[in-house]
Structure formats: structure tokens, C-alpha cells
Chains A and B, each alone.
Chain A
């Protein structure tokens, strides 16, 4: 039994697993793109991609990727070249820095569970909050660098939205931190062993869900890319793989945001003892359970995209400051009251 633990903590094994995980994240972003096209088509009674790779268009993704890689790489003549080139890297970097702190399930051996995370530190939730806010800088760099009015408008809207929604997002996370008395995301996930926090703090979950949708820039909050008004938002002047990096970042951000939602509110990887007690199941069942929940959240987000119309930017800012912010304060009071009542 001990040797397995030692094997898992071998730096070479961990390094290889980490590389595989990064590959998997990219691959899951690709799958999400496919899911968005096919599943979205189903919702709207269309057929969706069906030419490349059989009835389900499975090879469409590869065709898309080849298209992105082989397109001409254009940099506008009047662009600020340094900012223009660096911007997609900053956007993708912000999404990738989040991977460090997120545990993707756990391996349960006996009574102990070993989370599959690169690091485990005491303030990982704060870290996630901090680095996910960096992407707004990348979007600003892209917009200013490409010297285009549509892009600048998109950056304006993006920053106005981010300022409005980071606050309720943070406060709803504080509600959880108060309840668990920790900012360590592994401890928060483990604390939901019998009771998920969505049942304890339903208001907090609603605020968190809406805020993280806005944070990810998903419809109904994608005013910064509104195709009908702003061409393609910050990506108007981008072509080929530079644009593709931004697209990847968007989808990776969406997947990681869903992971965060599962970890904070939907119970993480916790399974009852009689399942994880069996050795083989303990090694695999928590991971599958975690991934299944993430898939459900991702599909919900996609369904919301294809079902709802886009808000106007003033409505979005109003919603953030006038509705979500007071609600998140209310949730914080609720969490503190519960903690005082039950003695936490």
C-alpha cells in the first residue's frame, strides 16, 4: 500500500502526469468546441457539423485546427506590434496559471485521499481569483495593440464588466471560506463530504454561477465579442493561430471555471465511504465522479448560451452592482449566521 503512495509522489511520475494533464486540458477544450457546435445545433434543431468524420462530424475539430494553423498570420501595419503579439500569450497564460492550483479529482486509498493537483497551498482560492483576473489585461493589450475601434469598445466593455463581477464573485467565495474556515481549495472540497454547499448557500451559488459566467465571457455576458455589433470584439484584427490561442484560452477558462464551481459548490470528488473503500474504485471512481459533474456543468453553460439572448452592456453592469452585489452580501451574512449558530 505504501509503495503506491511513494510511486505517486515520485517527481518523475508527477511530472509526466502533469504534462499529460496539460495535454488533456487542451484536448478537452477541443472537445468542448465540438460539443458546443453539435450540442448547440441539437438545441436549435439544426444538424451542425456532419461532413467531416461521419455523421457526428468528429473530425471537424481537426479540420478547424488545420485551418487555423495554415491561415496567413497578419499583423496590421499601424498596430503596436509588441502588445499585439504578447496579448494572446497573456490571455492563455492567465488560463494556464489557474491549472496549478486546481485539483482534478483525487485518489482515495484507505482513509486518506491524495488530490491530483500540482500544488496544495493554503490560499489557493485567492490565487485562482487573482490569476483569473489577469486575462482582462491581455484583452486590453490585444484591443489597444490592434489599433481598432471595435477592439477598443470590446475592451471598454470587458473592463467595465470585470470590475462589476469580480466583486460579487469574491464575496460569494468569502461566504464559503467563512464556513470552512480555510482558503485551501482541497479542504473546501473535502468539507462537503455529506452536504454540498449548493444546499447550504443557494444564494451564494446563484451569485457565483452568474458571476463566473460573466467572468468567462460566456453568453449572455459576451458583450465584448458581440458579433452583431463589434465584428469579433478584441479579436477583430487577429488571424490564424493567434486568434486560435485566444479561443483556446476562452474554452480552457470555461472548463476550469466549471471545475471551480464543482469544487466549491457541487461537492468536489467526494463519494460515500462504501464505494471508495474498495481499492480499485477508490483509485478511479472519485475522478470519474468529478469529471462527470464538470461535464454536466459545461453542458449547462453551453445550453444557456444557445437558449438566452445577449444583454446590453448597461443591463449587465446594472445586474452586477444592483442585484448580485447586495445578494452576495446577503449570502455572506447568511454564512456567518450559520457559522455562529452551529458554532462552526
Chain B
């Protein structure tokens, strides 16, 4: 019973990971790509927790999501991208 639950959870999390990582490269919007990358990293943290490596899972969230993800978003915001198609603000 526990094994089945674990298998289903693993399948869900790994599907999320793969789905988000595909989105990272296919997304047309650079911000969506960055956010998908963050979501991928969170899902990987889920896999770590599932493997009973809670410390690595939490450090994954702390470093990759709280640190690197935010840095990437910061860098993306500094790129000269216009607010899309809103002519009123110009």
C-alpha cells in the first residue's frame, strides 16, 4: 500500500518536473520560461523529499528557488522588454 502511494506520488512529481522543464524551453514569454524553471526546481525538491532526503529538498528550495530563481527573475526584469502591446502606457 505504501509502495503504491509512493509510486503514484513519484509519477506525479516526475511528470510535473518533466512538464515544467519542457515548458522552460518552449515558452515564448521569457518570464514564463523563468517561472517554469523555478517550478521545475520546486518539483525536484519534491523528489528529494520523497527519497527521504529532507535536508537536500529544503536546501534546494532555499538556494535554487529563494536565491537563484529570484536572481534569474531579477535579471529577466532588467532585460529591455516592453510591456506587451499596451499602447496606453506609452
Contacts and interface: CB of A to CB of B under 8 A. Distances in A.
Interface of A: 78, 80, 83, 121-123, 126-127, 129-131, 133-134, 136-137, 140-141, 144, 147-149, 152, 155-156, 159-160, 162-163, 166
Contacts of A80: 29, 32
B32 A83 contact: yes
A136 B62 CA distance: 13
Given A80-B29, A159-B74, A149 B83 contact: yes
Interface string B32-76: 100100100000000000000011001101100110011101100
Contacts of B54: 121-123
Contacts of A127: 58
Q: Place the interface of chain B in its size category.
A: 20 to 34
Contacts, number: 65
A149 B61 contact: no
A130 B83 CA distance: 31
Nearest to A144: B31
Nearest to A127: B58
22 contacts: A83-B31, A83-B32, A123-B54, A123-B58, A126-B55, A126-B59, A126-B62, A129-B62, A130-B59, A133-B62, A133-B66, A136-B70, A137-B35, A137-B38, A137-B65, A137-B69, A147-B86, A159-B73, A159-B77, A160-B74, A163-B71, A163-B74
A160 B55 CA distance: 27
Given A123-B55, A126-B59, A137-B35, 12 more contacts: A78-B85, A80-B32, A126-B55, A129-B62, A129-B66, A130-B59, A130-B65, A131-B61, A133-B65, A137-B65, A147-B86, A163-B71
Contact of A159 (B29, B31, B70, B89): B70
A163 B70 contact: yes
Nearest to B55: A123
A101 to B, nearest CB: 10
A307 B36 CA distance: 41
